[in-house]
Amino acid sequence: MATIETIPSIEANGAKIPLVGLGTWELRGRTCARVVEQALRLGYRHVDTAEMYDNERDVGDGIRASGVKRNELFVTTKIWPSHFAPRALERATLDCLMRLRLSEVDLLVLHWPNPQIPLSETIPALCKMKTDGLARHIGISNFTVALIEEAAQIATEPLVCDQVECHPYLDQSKVIAACRAHGMAVVAYSPIARGNAKNDKVLARIGVAHKKTAAQICLRYLVQQNIVVIPRTSKLERLAENAALFDFTLSEEEMAEIAALANPDGRIVDWSYSGAMKWD
């Protein structure tokens, strides 16, 4: 069973981010609150939500029901790109906090790039949310290398992460390198490729050697590179499994074999606010 001691954190530009968090996309209502509560009781301390998920109230309910002290938690929410104009971003942030019933989030993230509103407007507004005390840290999501560079140049407060789709079937080495050059963490969403990893023969074979599931091997591959993972599950029994990643180590050969699973069609999530993204 996961405990707070068994989920290490990484540091990124002043933020201390637990390497395993709970993703809550598509979780709503009592199910969402129950999964959040159970995850925190097991020892998770990192919860990821977004205004687009329409579940911030439920996440907040789960946090309060868990009884875990607020200062032990790392709560992330994300602002939708239609709210990237400065005043809209501030209103959206306040609305997120109201729904979560928190005075601040640990990490406030821009959910997707929005080319219709210049980063020269949005990034200063995001920085203001930190200096105003509404967010302890700020970050970005689904930003390409070029956008990471642009955002980092504009920001007057440190950006602590880029949250991106990341799993063995997608080569994100360029984005990972850009993040590390700026001291930023990589946070992996869809880290088991929407469940595809569970049926992978390579991951399953490596799992047999370590007495782990294919999904655990997939997640270990990422956390062993200090990539934060936020797998989503609605099954309570999966919560402990998804966090049981720190009692074994993959060999260099195994890591290379898993990296070789990447392919040009590996991307699952290809939505963007403006149409096609020019992915790295």
**Which residues are annotated as catalytic?**
53
With H, G, I as helix, E, B as strand and everything else as coil, classify residue 23. strand
CA 277 remoteness from chain centre? 20
Tell me which DSSP letter residue 182 carries.
Answer: T
Q: What does residue 263 show for φ and ψ, rounded to 5 degrees?
A: -145, 160
In 67-165, alpha helices (H): 86-100, 119-131, 145-154
Q: How far apart are CA 149 and CA 95, in angstroms?
A: 29
> In degrees to the nearest 10, what's the CA dihedral of 183, 188, 189, 190?
160
Query: Which helix H or strand E contains 219, and what residues bound it?
Result: helix 214-223
Structure tokens at 161: 């992460």
Question: Rounded to 5 degrees, what angle do the CA atoms 90, 29, 87 make?
Answer: 10
Spatial neighbors of 43 by CB under 8 A, at least 6 apart, are: 1, 2, 3, 4, 5, 6, 7, 243
Q: How far apart are the first and last CA of the chain?
A: 38
Q: Which of 249, 187, 188 has the alpha carbon at shortest distance from 217?
A: 249
Q: How far apart are CA 105 and CA 48, in angstroms?
A: 10
Q: Work out the number of other CB atoms within 10 angstroms of the CB of residue 63.
A: 21
